[in-house]
Each structure stands twice: as C-alpha cells, then as structure tokens.
Structure 1
Amino acid sequence: MHLHDDIHNYYEKMLLEEIINRKLYDQYNDDVMADLCCTVLNQLPSRYIRSDIDMAFYLSTTERVHMQQRVATAIDVAISQVAKKASINE
C-alpha cells in the first residue's frame, strides 16, 4: 500500500519554519539537526493533512498560535536534550 505523496504532518512544516527563524542550521551539524527534529516531532501530536492550504483555511488563529507555542517549547526541550549531549560527545 502506498499513501498519497501529499500526505504529511503539518507539525513538520511548522518545525522547519521555526528552525529557519532560529537559524539552527548555523549552530548544529546535520546529525544533530536530524536528532533534534526527531526529538521535537516525537513530543508533538500528529496532525496529518493533504494540503497546507486546507489547513490554513480550517485552522483558527488561536489554534495556530497554540501549535506554534508547542513547537517552540518542543524545540527548547530538544536542544537541552540533544544538542547539549552532542556537544559533550565532541
């Protein structure tokens, strides 16, 4: 069975936006970033969608802000767990 290529977790998009905003790729190598992303996404609920446009239409401003806050908090936790551990191992 093959799922449609457009199906994705909306939190992945939000995570990437926050990574860009924080310029985390400038601070961590690819291995740390991969671990960081996995750690963040494992803290968040799944929110699978087919189209970002549909999500933008149906998502209230309050819910979007709440989701952004969850992503920011999950990134902070992941940095404290993954990035600090990686710097110790270097």
Structure 2
Amino acid sequence: MLLSHESPLLLPTELDSIHNYYEGMVFEALQQQLPEQFGNNEYIADIACVALNHLPPRYIRHDVDMAFYLSPNERQEMLEKVNQAVTKAIQFVNDSQQEYE
C-alpha cells in the first residue's frame, strides 16, 4: 500500500536533489550579515527558518537551472527580498531571545 506522499516512480536519490533555491541565498546573506555568528548553528538555523518562511518557495533540482531562467533584474529582486527577510529575521530572533532572558 502506498501512502499519499510515496511514489513508485521516484527513487530516494532523485528526491534528495530537490531543494528550495532560496536556502543557499539565505545562508549567503547570513554569512555576509553575521560573519561573527556564523559558527553558532542553532542561532543561524533559527534565523534561516524565519527568513525562509517569509520568502516564496522556489523548488529546483539543480542550481544551474535557475541561472538560465532568471533575468538579471529577477535575480536582483530575489537578492533584495532575501536581504530584507534575513534582516527582519535577525531582529525577530534577537527580540525573541531577549524576551526569554
């Protein structure tokens, strides 16, 4: 019996290649905005989750695919959205941590 999320046509290795294109962009923005905190995995992961939840999903299999489909203007818009989402997420996580201290 197959569950609704199981497919006989896709192998696990094929599914492993699917990811949200914004993930890499968010981690790059975090590394630029918080280089001194980048080793603090829990803090960075919390911020990344908040930022990603404020961005539309862009699921792809290969990053190179996006290079062919994005115009320079679209890429710039995405970068601006990512930087705004990361900035807001940093503030949100910092404010939340202060509430619990």
TM over 0.5: yes
Using the aligned pairs only, state the percent identity: 45
Given the two structures, how large is their TM-score scaled by the length of structure 2?
0.77
Q: Which has the higher contact order (CA 8 A, sep 6+)?
A: 1
Which among 13, 26, 34 is matched to residue 36 of structure 2?
26
Distance 1:78 1:15 in 2: 11
* Runs of 4+ in structure 1 over 4 Å off: none
> Greater helix share, 1 or 2?
1
Which sections of structure 1, spanning at least 5 residues, go unmatched? Answer: none
- The structure having more radius of gyration, on CA atoms, is 2
Aligned counterpart, 1:68: 79
Distance 2:24 2:75 in 1: 12
Given the two structures, how large is their TM-score scaled by the length of structure 1?
0.85
Residues 1-52 of structure 1 deviation map (CA, whole Å, 9 limit, x = unaligned)? 2561111100001111112222x25236322212111100000000001111
Which sections of structure 2, spanning at least 5 residues, go unmatched? Answer: 1-5, 7-11
Any conservation in 2 of the 1:6–1:50 contact (CA below 8 Å)?
yes
> Which secondary structure state, in structure 1, belongs to the residue aligned with residue 15 of structure 2?
coil
Distance 2:95 2:36 in 1: 15
Distance 2:32 2:58 in 1: 21
